[in-house]
């Protein structure tokens, strides 16, 4: 399959029928998760990442800021606690619109474009004009509840995991997902193969995929 083709959502039904139109029908977007996960399924410890892997983090940033079509943007969905350590140092991100999930915040921190009270609100906003017109991919970048909710959505076609091949002390864990439904790709365009090593820690980049039905 051509590189660009494989980056597109793998839709298997009538995309043209459900593209947004004057009647207000929705314009579905691929929903993708990205996480670095330790052997014991950990993702966080005391509000931060349990490891220091600058190249892995760079790979993550490149992924969520990449667009196939010039001029398009990605919607990045953050849980409130995931954003906290990065709010002042990482934003703004190129090609990204930031949506923060919170049931308590009433105003958006700097460089956060939207505060959404639920995942469904964020997805609805992303798949409805005017935002949908300029949007390519919805990236859900954690934490636990945003991941768990997003992976159950029928538009979720990819889970990108960095498999950190060690146990770490963690207090936050990636939710279980069905690996018979999301299948590990043997290789994936643009994803480095083989085992990487940084600061003595081994890891590998993985993509789990499923065919998506937009219904």
CA gap 134, 21 in Å, rounded: 15
CA-wise closest residue to 32 among 184, 175, 208, 185:
208
Q: Is 58 in the site for ligand NAP (CB under 6 A)?
A: no
Residue from the set 9, 28, 146, 175 that interacts with ligand NAP by CB under 6 A: 146
Question: Is 56 noted as a catalytic residue in this protein?
Answer: yes
- Closest contact distance (angstroms) between CB of 48 and ligand NAP is 5
CA gap 137, 205 in Å, rounded: 19
CA gap 42, 132 in Å, rounded: 33
Binding region for ligand NAP (CB under 6 A) out of 9-17, 65-73, 80-88, 191-199: 80-88
State which residue, 28 or 79, has the beta carbon closest to ligand NAP.
79
Here the tokens at position 186 are 């043997």
- Closest contact distance (angstroms) between CB of 154 and ligand NAP is 17
Residue from the set 26, 35, 75, 140 that interacts with ligand NAP by CB under 6 A: 35
Q: Is 161 in the site for ligand NAP (CB under 6 A)?
A: no
Question: Is 135 noted as a catalytic residue in this protein?
Answer: no
The per-type count for the chain, helices as H runs and strands as E runs, is: 6, 11
């Amino acid at each position: 399959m051509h590189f660009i083709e494989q980056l597109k959502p793998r839709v298997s039904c009538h995309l043209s029928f459900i593209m947004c139109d004057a009647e207000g029908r929705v314009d579905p977007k691929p929903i993708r998760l990205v996480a670095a996960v330790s052997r014991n399924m950990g993702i966080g410890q005391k509000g931060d990442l349990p490891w220091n892997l600058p190249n892995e983090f760079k790979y993550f940033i490149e992924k969520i800021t990449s667009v196939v079509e010039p001029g398009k943007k990605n919607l990045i969905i953050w849980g409130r606690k995931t954003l906290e350590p990065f709010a002042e140092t990482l934003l703004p991100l190129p090609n990204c619109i930031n949506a923060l999930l919170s049931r308590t915040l009433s105003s958006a921190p700097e460089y956060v474009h939207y505060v959404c009270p639920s995942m469904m609100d964020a997805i609805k906003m992303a798949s409805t004009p005017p935002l949908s017109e300029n949007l390519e991919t919805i990236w859900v970048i954690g934490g636990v509840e945003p991941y768990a909710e997003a992976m159950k959505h029928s538009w979720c076609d990819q889970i990108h995991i960095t498999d950190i091949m060690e146990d770490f002390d963690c207090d936050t864990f990636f939710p279980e997902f069905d690996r018979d439904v999301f299948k590990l790709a043997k290789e994936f365009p643009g994803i480095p193969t083989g085992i990487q090593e940084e600061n003595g820690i081994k890891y590998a980049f993985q993509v789990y995929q499923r065919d998506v039905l937009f219904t």
